[in-house]
Structure formats: structure tokens, C-alpha cells
């Protein structure tokens, strides 16, 4: 079948990679727009594979491929534990989001998404925006988080993280309020800044850090936050450390600096290695598994797909996002009872969900 846009589709060069553990991996190249992308469909047991599109200055195609695989796998677990009838996938575009973006590039990416016929649903992620997804939308309906739908997922991600922090503080410190607690927030971008506002409104003191000085100053002005350098944030005098920048925030070096008894933030892949999670557990530091606490954005954008045709229902989404606190509470309790790190409890629960296909 030739399809209704044969000229553009034929310009994209597709290469399918067979990688064990993944349903499909597609390498896409479009010389006309400069698109170089990888789309990874990890698992569609529970529904179409959903996951944002990251644009990053990857050093090599292999790095991009590895990142797409790691992120897609995480999305499968995130959707499963959030109780969504969705699978996990992810796309990465190789390029500098400050220099290499163009409407043509995102339209070409949209055609690549369309090529998968709805097996994969894209959305925004680090380096891409609602405006970029609006371009993608011109080529495919398999995109969430567009301006006339749920829009920017970051505020809902931040709200979910706030619920998660409350659950963790209750569990670790026996406190029902954040009043008087100090939270160290690493990264003041889309999610981190919203989170600071919610924490400030909840009575928490803030210590903040960002590699961008203007973002730090904005948080200082808005919330009276105390700024520290990027190397000092993990060791800040705070009860909670909230990583909201890039992955790998918890590693051997940062663990040695930690003063916080709770780690609960938005970043994906916070633990550099599984050993870091076991060490936190051994040392009595309560870690909120990243893909559980940061699912608010996915719950929000999922409405564009699952509630197709209906207007975005903010009240319903807000109620769903609040369940993140209860979910973490249950995970922390099992962790304490069985003496297993919370992320191992979460992984086991996600695998259980995947073993039973969702009933339509
Ligand atoms: P963003 O790009 O808007 O913000 C990231 C911020 O971190 C930027 O301000 C950047 O300058 C800062 N940063 C980078 N390195 C740093 C360092 N070493 N120290 C301090 N600051 C540093 O991204 P975002 O959308 O806010 O997402 C933040 C994290 O949360 C990412 O890991 C993302 O994958 C994850 N996440 C985001 C969402 C969402 O809805 N946006 C959902 C789930 C997970």
C-alpha cells in the first residue's frame, strides 16, 4: 500500500534492529531535514508503547541507541505501576536542541512515528517542547501532550513528586506535614521549579542548585531558597534530596555526601547502579523509586490517548496523580516488612502487572 503521503515517507530511511528483550527498534534517518533518531518499542503487553521524545547531543549513535533502550524499558515499568493500559517505548533524536531544531525535523519525526501505526505514541521529554509536538501532530495522531490536549506534563509530574515526598517523609520521619522540613532540589527546569513552588506553599524550606545561574536566582527570588553549587547539593543539610536534573544523581560519590534521610525527586534513572539502591537501603536512606514517583506527567499525557475525543479532565488527572503517594506508601511498607530496597519491591510489582495482560 502506498499510503497518503508516499513522497515524504519514502524519503526516510528506516533500519530495523533486532535486539533481545525489545519488540521493535527502528533507526530513522531523513537527510532532507537532518533527522537522526531511534525509536524503541520495549513492551506492548498492556497497550501501545508510550514514551516521550528526547533530543540530546549524543556522542554517537550507539549512545543514542543505549539511551533509547534504557528509557523505553523504564516507561514499561512506569506505565504498569501507574495502572495505565499502556506499554513502554521511547524515542531519541540526535542533535543539539538549542541549534538543530526545525519544524521540518519534527515533521519528519512525526512521519517516522506514523510509520509504526500506533504501536508507539510519542510526547515531549528533555530537549523537546509542546511546540515541537504540535509539529509532530501535523503528521501523526500518535502523539500526546500537544497544546490542544493535556499540554505540558511537568506540573503534574511535580505534583506527583510532592505526593511522593509527603509519603516518604511520613514513612521516614513520622511527620504529616512538610512544615519546617528542608528539601534540597537539584535542577530547576520544567519540573524542578514547579516542585519548588509546591514545596514552598507546603511550608518547606528550600536549598536549590542548577548549572544555569539565572534559574537559581529565579528560585531565590520567588521562594527565598538558599542557592548552592552543583557539587554541593547532594550533601546539603536537608531531610529530603530531590534529584530533578539528569540521571545518575545517586552514585558512590554523592552517597558519601548525603545528609538527607529521604531521596525523592523527578529525574529518571536516579540510581547509577543497582548497588547504589542497596547501599541506600542498608544505610537507612529511604529512596522513592524514580519511575513510581515521577509518573504524574505520564498519567496526564495518557489522557490524550486514553480519553480520545474528550476534553482534558484536570480534576480526574489530579485525583489519579494523588494516588502516587498511596502507591509509594504501599511500596515502603512492603520494603520495611521484607527488608528489600523499595526499587526492588517496585520492580517485582511491575513484573507482576506485566504477567497479566490488561482486560480491555
Ligand atoms: P529540564 O531540562 O526542563 O530541567 C533540567 C534542569 O536541570 C535544567 O534547568 C538544567 O540546567 C539542570 N541541570 C542539569 N544538570 C545539572 C546539574 N548537574 N546540577 C544541577 N542542575 C542541573 O527537564 P525537566 O523536564 O524538568 O525534567 C527533569 C528530570 O525529570 C529529567 O530527568 C526528566 O527525564 C525527568 N522527568 C520529567 C518529566 C516531565 O514531565 N518533564 C516527567 C518524568 C520525568
The DSSP result for 67-131, as a single string, is: HHHHHHHHHHHHHHHTT-S-EEEEEEEES-TTTS--HHHHHHHHHHHHHTTTSEEB-B-TT--HH
Rg (CA), the chain: 20
> Phi, psi at residue 324, to the nearest 5°?
-60, -40
pLDDT over 80 at 269, yes or no? yes
For residues 253 and 258, give the distance between their C-alpha atoms in angstroms, rounded to a whole number.
9
Atom of ligand 1 nearest to the CA of 247: 32
Cα 189 to middle of ligand 1, angstroms: 5
Q: Do 241 and 258 form a contact (C-beta atoms < 8 A)?
A: yes
Cα 21 to middle of ligand 1, angstroms: 28
Q: Please report how many Cα atoms fall inside a 13 Å half-sphere around the Cα of residue 122, on the Cβ side.
A: 37
> Which residues, in sequence order, are CB contacts of 219 under 8 Å at separation 6+?
185, 188, 193, 196, 206, 208, 210, 225, 227
Q: Do 188 and 210 form a contact (C-beta atoms < 8 A)?
A: yes
Q: State percent of the chain over pLDDT 70.
A: 95
pLDDT on residue 215: 96
Q: Name which residue leads in pLDDT, 247 or 140.
A: 140
- As a whole number, mean pLDDT of residues 223-229 equals 98
pLDDT on residue 1: 40
Using most ligand atoms within 8 A of CB, pick from 67, 124, 126 the residue to mutate for ligand 1.
Answer: 126
Q: 3-class DSSP state for residue 298?
A: helix
Q: pLDDT grade, residue 360 (50/70/90)?
A: very low
- As a whole number, mean pLDDT of residues 237-252 equals 96
Atom of ligand 1 nearest to the CA of 265: 30
Listed residue (291, 283, 243) closest to 263, CA to CA: 243
- As a whole number, mean pLDDT of residues 170-191 equals 97
Q: Global pTM?
A: 0.91
Cα 125 to middle of ligand 1, angstroms: 9
pLDDT on residue 308: 66
Annotated active-site residue 24? The verdict is no
For ligand 1, atom 39, the nearest C-alpha belongs to 154
For ligand 1, atom 29, the nearest C-alpha belongs to 267
Q: pLDDT grade, residue 247 (50/70/90)?
A: confident
Cα 151 to middle of ligand 1, angstroms: 17
Cα 1 to middle of ligand 1, angstroms: 42
Q: Pocket around ligand 1: residues whose beta carbon is below 6 Å from it?
A: 126, 153-154, 157, 186-192, 209-212, 215, 230, 244-246, 266-268, 294, 297
- Catalytic hit among 24, 78, 90, 101: 90
Atom of ligand 1 nearest to the CA of 127: 2
pLDDT over 70 at 4, yes or no? no
> Phi, psi at residue 2, to the nearest 5°?
-85, -20
Q: Do 142 and 120 form a contact (C-beta atoms < 8 A)?
A: yes
For ligand 1, atom 20, the nearest C-alpha belongs to 210
DSSP type of residue 357: P
Amino acid at each position: 500500500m502506498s499510503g497518503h503521503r508516499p513522497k515524504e515517507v519514502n524519503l526516510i530511511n528506516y533500519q530495523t534492529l533486532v535486539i533481545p528483550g525489545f519488540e521493535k527498534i527502528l533507526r530513522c534517518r531523513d537527510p532532507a531535514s537532518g533527522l537522526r533518531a531511534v525509536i524503541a518499542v520495549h513492551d506492548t503487553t498492556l497497550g501501545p508503547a508510550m514514551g516521550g521524545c528526547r533530543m540530546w547531543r549524543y556522542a554517537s549513535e550507539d549512545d543514542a541507541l543505549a539511551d533509547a533502550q534504557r528509557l523505553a524499558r523504564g516507561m514499561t515499568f512506569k506505565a504498569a505501576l501507574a495502572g495505565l493500559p499502556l506499554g513502554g517505548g521511547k524515542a531519541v533524536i540526535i542533535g543539539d536542541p538549542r541549534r538543530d531544531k526545525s519544524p521540518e525535523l519534527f515533521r519528519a519525526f512525526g512521519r517516522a512515528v506514523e510509520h509504526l501505526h500506533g504501536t508507539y505514541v510519542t510526547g515531549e521529554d528533555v530537549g523537546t517542547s509542546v511546540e515541537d509536538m504540535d509539529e509532530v501532530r501535523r503528521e501523526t495522531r500518535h502523539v500526546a501532550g500537544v497544546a490542544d490536549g493535556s499540554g505540558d506534563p511537568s506540573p503534574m509530574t511535580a505534583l506527583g513528586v510532592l505526593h511522593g515526598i509527603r509519603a516518604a517523609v511520613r514513612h521516614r520521619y513520622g511527620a504529616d506535614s512538610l512544615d519546617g522540613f528542608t528539601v534540597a532540589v537539584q535542577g530547576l527546569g520544567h519540573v524542578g521549579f514547579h516542585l519548588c513552588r509546591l514545596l514552598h506553599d507546603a511550608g518547606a524550606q528550600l536549598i536549590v542548585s542548577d548549572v544555569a545561574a539565572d534559574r537559581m536566582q529565579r528560585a531565590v527570588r520567588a521562594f527565598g531558597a538558599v542557592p548552592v553549587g552543583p557539587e554541593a547539593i547532594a550533601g546539603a543539610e536537608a531531610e529530603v534530596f530531590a534529584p530533578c536534573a539528569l540521571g545518575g544523581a545517586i552514585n558512590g560519590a554523592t552517597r558519601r555526601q548525603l545528609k538527607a534521610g529521604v531521596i525523592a525527586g523527578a529525574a529518571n534513572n536516579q540510581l547509577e547502579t543497582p548497588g547504589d539502591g542497596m547501599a541506600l537501603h542498608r544505610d537507612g536512606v529511604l529512596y522513592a523509586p524514580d519511575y513510581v514517583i515521577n509518573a504524574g506527567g505520564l498519567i496526564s499525557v495518557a489522557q490524550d490517548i486514553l480519553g480520545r475525543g474528550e476534553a482534558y479532565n484536570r480534576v480526574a488527572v489530579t485525583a489519579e496523580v494523588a494516588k502516587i503517594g498511596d502507591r509509594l506508601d504501599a511500596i515502603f511498607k512492603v520494603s520495611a516488612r521484607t527488608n528489600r530496597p523499595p526499587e526492588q519491591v517496585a520492580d517485582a510489582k511491575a513484573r507482576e502487572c506485566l504477567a497479566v495482560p490488561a482486560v480491555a
